[in-house]
Amino acid sequence: MKPDDPNLKRVEPPKLTLLEKTYLPQILGGLAVTGRHILGSAIGGKAVTVQYPEEQHVPTANYRGVHRLNKDEQGRVKCVACMLCATACPAHCIDIVGATAPEDWPDREKYPESFVIDELRCIYCGMCEEACPVDAIELTGLYDITGLSREELIYDKAKLLSVFDMTKDAEPMKTGNPPASLPVPTSPLDPEGPGPRTTVPAAQLPSRS
């Protein structure tokens, strides 16, 4: 579209009043929110601090966390290596190597021989999930991911499938859920347990040389 196109609608920025130009209303509004939280914690006892890791925040059902690769009823990866998720990804954090599907998989032509997501580069926008035509990739409610190196947070196919095994009873990204209220709901951690329930187990990563 050219700048002189008659169909081009020009939108002028709103004119600010003298008071708005000082930004005082916005500053006072922000201070009011801060004061409301401080007084609410002191008087009402509604502290929003979570005693992590003894208590863990329970995210809403539509929270976008760690990815998972879904399996079908036969235990096969659902992905058909169409590359739509990698194409839609604005962060370019998905790397897929497709291969010809085995002969006993008549429902598809290809499958992902390699499927890697860089969780450090991902912006968790959910575009990959929206683009997938077979519901093979989803973002789960897992958020506690840590590692001692960058390589540990590059998830290969085996690790993504292991996340599915951990969360297969959940239904991530269900829309229509109410926003989280304060204080946020938490889940107590079993001191005798192996660790936080949100921790994703490590998996050996493929060589990317």
Asked whether residue 132 is marked as a ligand-binding residue, the answer is yes
Judged on CB neighbours under 10 Å (0-12, 13-18, 19+), 133 is exposed
Output the DSSP codes for the chain. Answer: --TT-TTPPP-PPPPPPHHHHTTHHHHHHHHHHHHHHHHIIIII-------TTTEEE---TT---SEEE-B-TTS-B------HHHHH-TT--EEEEEEEPPTT-TT-SEEEEEEEEETTT-----HHHHH-TT--EEE-S------SSGGGGEE-HHHHHHHHHHHTT--TT-SSPPPPPSSPPEEE--TTSSS-TTPPPP-PPPP--
Length of the chain: 209
CB of 112 closer than 8 Å to CB of 157: yes
Asked whether residue 85 is marked as a ligand-binding residue, the answer is yes
Asked whether residue 93 is marked as a ligand-binding residue, the answer is no
List, as residue ranges, the binding site for [4Fe-4S] cluster.
79, 82, 85, 89, 122, 125, 128, 132
List, as residue ranges, the binding site.
79, 82, 85, 89, 122, 125, 128, 132
